[in-house]
Amino acid sequence: MEKPVIAQKSPYVLNNELKDYYWCACGKSSKQPFCDGSHKGSAFAPLKTSILKEGKNAWCGCKNTKNPPFCDGSHAKL
């Protein structure tokens, strides 16, 4: 089983608008934490996430969260 690339060992804390986002699950995107298509040819696919409330979100940067796409602190155990 392929493992994702750890993009960073901390979350991406961003102010988000009311819209759909595609979170990068592979860790290879140059547009972290969002997908740029770098997963093509791998076992990974982006995760579509609809933001229903404007404000800050902590998007997982280590790609090991148990609550994708959001940070659950898993990076502290890497």
Question: Within 13 Å and on the Cβ side, how many CA atoms surround 63?
Answer: 22
Residues 45-77 pLDDT 10s: 999 999 999 999 999 999 999 999 999 999 999
Q: What is the DSSP string of the chain?
A: --------SS-EEEEE-SSEEEE-SSS--TTTTB--STTTTSS---EEEE--S-EEEEE-SSS--SSTTB--SGGGG-
Assessment of whether the complete model's pTM goes beyond 0.85: yes
Domain span at 48 = 1-78
Tell me how many domains the chain contains: 1
pLDDT at 11: 98
The model's confidence at residue 1, banded by pLDDT at 50, 70 and 90, is confident
Section 8-35 average pLDDT: 98
